[in-house]
Structures are given as C-alpha cells and as structure tokens.
Structure 1
Amino acid sequence: MFRLDAEHVLRPVRVGDGAAMARAYLANREHLEPWEPVRDAAFFTSAWQEDDLVRSVADAAAGRNVRFVIESDDGEIRGRMNLNNVVRGAFRNADLGYWIDATRLRRGLASRAVSATLTFARDELMLHRVQAATLLHNEASQHVLAANGFERIGLAPRYLRIAGSWQDHLLFQRLIDEPITAPAGRP
C-alpha cells in the first residue's frame, strides 16, 4: 500500500471491493464516458464489478495484470491504476491505464498514483518499461505522464474503440530502471 496524501492510499484491488467499485463507476459514469469503451448497464452493478475483481486478483496472482484502487479515508474508491498485459522475458513491459474520480481532479493525485505504480512495477514486478496511450485530446493525462518522465514514442491510428468509435492515440513509454522520484504536486 502507498500513502498518496493525507486522505488517499493506493492499494491492490481485493475480492469484496465490488460494491465500492460499482459506486465509484456510477458516480463517475459521465466523467469517464469520453475516455473509455462503451459500457452496458451490467458493468455498473456490484455483481459485475465483484466478478471482475475476482478475475483481477487471479490475474495478479498469475502475473498477468496488477490492478490498484485509490481509496479515500472514508473507504470509497476514488480512482484506478492498472498495469495490464505484463510481459516477462526480454521485454519486461506492462501497459498503464488509470482514471481519477471527477471530484479529485487537479490535486496531483493522478501524478502521485502513477509514480507509486511505477515504483511497484520496477521494485515488485521488476519491469524495465511501462507504456501508456492517451486520446489525442487528453491533455490532462498527457501532463500526468510527462510529470512522471514518460516520453512520447508515436501515434497509433485507430488504436482503441473508445466512446463507441475507433480513435487515434498517442503512445508513451517510461523506462523504469533508474530511480523514480515522485512528481511535485499539491499536498
């Protein structure tokens, strides 16, 4: 677990988080719509989220993906950090994805959570590289990545189906062999 600030921690997802995860997604449904795949009504239920968390915990145990939540001191989930598609061998890479609760934006929370996730990827997963992709117009996410030392490495046309259509994405990477310093941010 990583303490991000006075009221938030980053911790691995766990079985039993389904109801809190459903509340978080419901509260952020409109906020996340432009940035995520189209979600059906079942996605926003406690049952669907709990089933997904059971898979996520199994994936983490198998070394395929590691999913985290940002939890506030009131026990509510305020965001996610995901290391997906973990690859070992000569590549030692994972894909980073994340979102932050609409009520917690512009506080440096995402930057600190990405920094903590990179530390975990380097120290626990022993990865060499983490990559991320953003929609072309997602300047806030690009700022978070830049604050954490990611560099832009390309453009992927029609990379992911987001908000109902195939959309171009900018690709970024961060080599994490060197020390990771937390970005300066608001307390």
Structure 2
Amino acid sequence: MPATTSTLTGNIRVRLLNPSDAELLAAAYKLNRDHLAPWEPERPESFFTAEGQQAVIDSKIALLDAGSEVPRVLLEGADIIGCVTLTGIVRGPFLSCHLGYWISRAYTGRGIASAAAAFAVETARTELGLHRVQAATLTGNAASQKVLRRCGFEEIGFAPAYLNIAGSWQDHVLYQRVLY
C-alpha cells in the first residue's frame, strides 16, 4: 500500500495512519467526543489519550500489515479531522470489505465524508482488487446514508441489534457497492 498523501478536496488530504499519529488522533477524538458519541461504541477514558490511541494505531498497523485493514486519516494542515478505513478485508471468492468513516463536527456538510468514502471505494477497486464494499449505518443516521448513496452504494437490508453503539445494541441499515 503506497504511503503517499492524496488531496481529497480543497486543502483536505488523506494518507495512511502511521505510528506518529497518536497525539493528533487523541486530540481529534477529544475535540469530537460528543459529536461522535451517538454513532460509536462507548469508549473508555484511555481511548482519548495518546497512549490509548497508540495502542489502537499499533493494532491497526498490524492489521494493515496482515492485509485485512487499510486505515487512513483525513488532514487539514497538520490536524487530523477524520478517518476513513476499509476493514474486514476478505480475499478468495468473496473479495469484500467494510467501509467506516468519521468527520470532525467542524467539517461536516462540506462533502469531505463523500470524498473520503469515494477515495476508499476507489482504493478497494484499484489497489486491493476487491469486488464489493459494504457499510452499515444506524437507522437514524441520515447524513451517513446520504454519503453512501452519493458514492453509489445501494441499500441491501436491515440488521436488528447489529452493533453495540452508544451503550446499546442498535439496528442498522446495510449498504453495498459492487465494484465490478
């Protein structure tokens, strides 16, 4: 996987997560703690520290090295303003993965999440040779559903009690994008 930085839109860039991102990622998560809380699992206090993020980064880099995840950060200047990740990469006859992303509250509504999702889908197709990308959103996450539709995803189902988000098992709408 190339370690280059690419421009997404305007002055927003995307690059692979690297081991030196712990402080920046902790700062981004602290700044967006309330913004992300309804959409993510409950997080221990340690998650919002550089040490906690270093452990997350080390795990994600090990998964990148194993070929099962591609974690990227979104940047404006030196600041991390979000993440976009392809996870659960499966080879063989499935050739599929999951897409996940988040954007800092200050950057929502600018098309950045759509650009990041489109970038990840193109990575899945051209660099990873995958056939399918899937994503799931909470039933009430209209903004994320709009991002997925903009990127050519189609709704394929409903999953009751799919993920433990914000402290409870919550229903999700399932999406996919078939790449070829």
TM-score bracket relative to the smaller structure: over 0.9
Aligned twin of 2:93 = 90
Aligned twin of 1:113 = 116
Deviating beyond 6 angstroms after TM superposition, the runs of 4 or more aligned structure 1 residues are none
Share of identical aligned residues, percent? 45
Structure 1 residue 15 corresponds to structure 2 residue 19: yes
Aligned twin of 2:140 = 137
Following superposition, the deviation at residue 25 of structure 1 comes to 0.2
The counterpart of 1:48, out of the listed 26, 38, 52, is 52
Following superposition, the deviation at residue 54 of structure 1 comes to 1.5
Aligned twin of 2:62 = 58
Q: 1:42, 1:171 → 2: CA distance?
A: 31
Q: 1:6, 1:135 → 2: CA distance?
A: 29
Q: 1:55, 1:32 → 2: CA distance?
A: 21
Supply the AA of the counterpart residue of 2:60.
Answer: S
The counterpart of 1:125, out of the listed 116, 128, 131, is 128
Following superposition, the deviation at residue 88 of structure 1 comes to 0.3
Aligned twin of 1:185 = none
Where structure 1 has 5 or more consecutive residues not aligned to the other structure, the ranges are 178-187
* 1:102-146: CA deviation from partner (whole Å, max 9, x where unpaired): 000000000011111111111111100000000000000000000
Aligned twin of 2:7 = 3
Aligned twin of 1:182 = none
The counterpart of 1:104, out of the listed 107, 124, 129, is 107
Give me the CA root mean square deviation.
0.7
Q: 2:101, 2:9 → 1: CA distance?
A: 18
Partner SS for 2:122: helix
Q: 2:91, 2:99 → 1: CA distance?
A: 15
Aligned twin of 1:71 = 75
Following superposition, the deviation at residue 5 of structure 1 comes to 1.8
Asked if the contact 1:2/1:116 (under 8 Å) is kept, the reply is no
- Structure 1 range deviating more: 52-61 or 134-143: 52-61
Supply the AA of the counterpart residue of 1:2.
Answer: S
Q: 1:98, 1:127 → 2: CA distance?
A: 18
Following superposition, the deviation at residue 2 of structure 1 comes to 2.2
Asked if the contact 1:70/1:78 (under 8 Å) is kept, the reply is yes
**What is the count of residue pairs matched by the alignment?**
176
Q: 1:136, 1:6 → 2: CA distance?
A: 31
The TM-score normalised by the length of structure 2 is 0.96
Q: 1:71, 1:145 → 2: CA distance?
A: 21
Aligned twin of 1:176 = 179
